[in-house]
């Protein structure tokens, strides 16, 4: 009986082997299923790691090169809700400034949002335009259904009295989820 207890039958080759054997000495079959040294378990783990890597690479590829939301599609959902125009002189230069609030009604977050201000004289003629300065605006974002403040400033090309009205337009924006430009 004691001898029987210390042996078992290999499930692959049906030879009687020691109960504590990890590998069958006759056919090299692994007796313990969940050993890391078992080549089958090793292969399964390797497959799992490769699978995770492929999924990760796929996500990266999608972020880097995949389709991005185009601003043009959402143009009507990103707007200026309020703004203030001001002028100041610095030396011999006249500076015009517009500060305001942008609102995003879409489900998409946007970055590098560009705002253009157009200025009109009393007759309604376009006399000047300034756009947001890239250095001022770098990294400014609007989250989905969010608001953000903006400021644009430029040197006036006309006398202060000519600036009767202004109009603001959101000219460009990039999908916040896009990693590459």
Which residue ranges make up the site for Zn ion (CB under 5 A)?
10, 12-13, 24, 26-27, 29
Looking at the Cβ atoms of 9 and 55, the one nearer to Zn ion is: 9
Burial of 32 (0-12, 13-18, 19+ CB in 10 A): exposed
Looking at the Cβ atoms of 24 and 98, the one nearer to Zn ion is: 24
Rounded least distance, CB 48 to Zn ion, Å: 28
Rounded least distance, CB 12 to Zn ion, Å: 5
Residues in CB range of 2: below 8 A, 6 or more apart = none
Looking at the Cβ atoms of 13 and 149, the one nearer to Zn ion is: 13
Looking at the Cβ atoms of 12 and 149, the one nearer to Zn ion is: 12
Distances (CA, A) of 17 to 2, 38, 124: 14, 18, 99
Rounded least distance, CB 178 to Zn ion, Å: 57
Handedness of CA 23, 29, 34, 40 (dihedral sign): positive
């Amino acid at each position: 009986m004691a001898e029987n207890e210390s042996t078992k039958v290999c499930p692959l080759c049906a030879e009687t082997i020691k109960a504590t054997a990890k590998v069958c000495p006759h056919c090299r079959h692994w007796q313990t299923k969940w050993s890391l040294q078992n080549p089958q378990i090793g292969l399964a783990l390797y497959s799992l790691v490769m699978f995770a890597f492929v999924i990760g690479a796929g996500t990266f590829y999608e972020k880097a090169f995949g389709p991005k939301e185009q601003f043009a599609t959402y143009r009507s959902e990103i707007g200026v809700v309020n703004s203030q125009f001001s002028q100041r002189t610095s030396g011999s230069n006249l500076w015009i400034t517009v500060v305001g609030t942008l609102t995003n009604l879409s489900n998409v977050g946007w970055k590098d949002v560009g705002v253009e201000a157009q200025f009109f004289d009393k007759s309604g003629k376009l006399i000047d335009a300034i756009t947001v300065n890239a250095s001022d605006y770098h990294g400014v974002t609007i989250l989905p259904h969010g608001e953000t403040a903006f400021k644009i400033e430029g040197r006036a090309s006309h006398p202060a009295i000519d600036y009767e009205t202004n109009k603001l337009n959101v000219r460009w924006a990039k999908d916040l989820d896009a990693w590459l430009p």
